[in-house]
Amino acid sequence: MPAAQTAWRKASKQFFNERAEELPAQVNVATLCYVSGREQRLWTNPALYRDMMESIREQLKLAKSHSLLEVGCAAGFLASGLAAMVANYTGVDVAAKALAVARTLRIANATFDVGDGTRLPYGDGQFDRVVCYDVFTNFPQFESVAKVLQDMARVCRPGGKIMAGSIPDDAHASEYQKRVLEVTQELENKHGPVETPAPSITFFQRLRRWFTRKVVHVQPNIVCYYFRREDFLQFGRDHGLETQFHDIHRANPYFGYRFNVVYTKPERA
């Protein structure tokens, strides 16, 4: 694969790993937001989190008997809420240091594994439900998204459901950018500047960061990319999946600018 097509993967992985290294020993919602690149002035609001969890539960038709895989779980921001809805939760991510943070949450029915979304380390049909939420925004092309979706479908059981969640809608890109500025200003007025953990990393961690950036030429970064609904619909057609589009949860300030896609895998003939 050409270097230009893999650079964003390395930058994203480095972003999550570096942020995980900076966390203090005490992990809380705000620090989980920091690792995942979420706006903590929004997501430390329990009501907003509950609203998101309820929408995922309803749209995926989650049940207490289900096994659930979350692709791109990072430090486990969604893990506690999702795990409470199912029998068994598994989180997978490429960023090993972020997963180390997730394991400190000590969720009884959860396991966390290192793995690439295009080559998930699980067997065919292993999970009742598979979700990838607020992750594809980091992917610059739908081709890369499709590779992950294809392996998500592989590890989902026949009759199971797959969610691609919180997708920025290309049809509303300009309006979305304006809305981001409005929300940022509202948060500034209400809460003041965002607070970030004071980095407390070792000399060797600093040296590794310098080497990664100056010698390997990887700058940690995440970017918001937009996608067309038509591409997700065509993916479903191409792979024999029933496709449904949903709004993100209504309490989200970006309601109307992002969408969820839920695929249903056909039962075996």
Q: Where are the domains of the chain?
A: 3-192+199-264
Measuring CA to CA, which residue among 93, 100, 98, 89 is closest to residue 71?
93
- How many whole angstroms separate alpha carbon 6 and alpha carbon 170? 23
- Residue 203: exposed, middle, or buried by beta-carbon count in 10 A (0-12, 13-18, 19+)? exposed
Whether residue 5 is predicted with pLDDT greater than 90 in this model: the reply is no
Q: Which two tokens stand for residue 51?
A: 């609203």
Query: For residues 209 and 121, which has the higher predicted lDDT (pLDDT)?
Result: 121
Cβ neighbours of residue 214 under 8 Å, at least 6 residues apart?
A: none
Whether residue 207 is predicted with pLDDT greater than 70 in this model: the reply is no
Whether residue 217 is predicted with pLDDT greater than 60 in this model: the reply is no
Q: Which two tokens stand for residue 90?
A: 């598994």
- Any idea how long the chain is? 269
Whether residue 81 is predicted with pLDDT greater than 60 in this model: the reply is yes
Q: Summarize pLDDT for 46-68 with one digit per residue, the tens.
A: 999 999 999 999 999 999 999 99
Cβ neighbours of residue 254 under 8 Å, at least 6 residues apart?
A: 176, 179, 180, 183, 248
Q: What is the average per-residue pLDDT within 220-247?
A: 91
Q: What is the average per-residue pLDDT within 28-35?
A: 86
Count of other CB atoms within 10 angstroms of residue 196: 12
Please identify, in words, the CATH class of the domain defined by 3-192+199-264: alpha beta
Mean pLDDT in the chain? 89
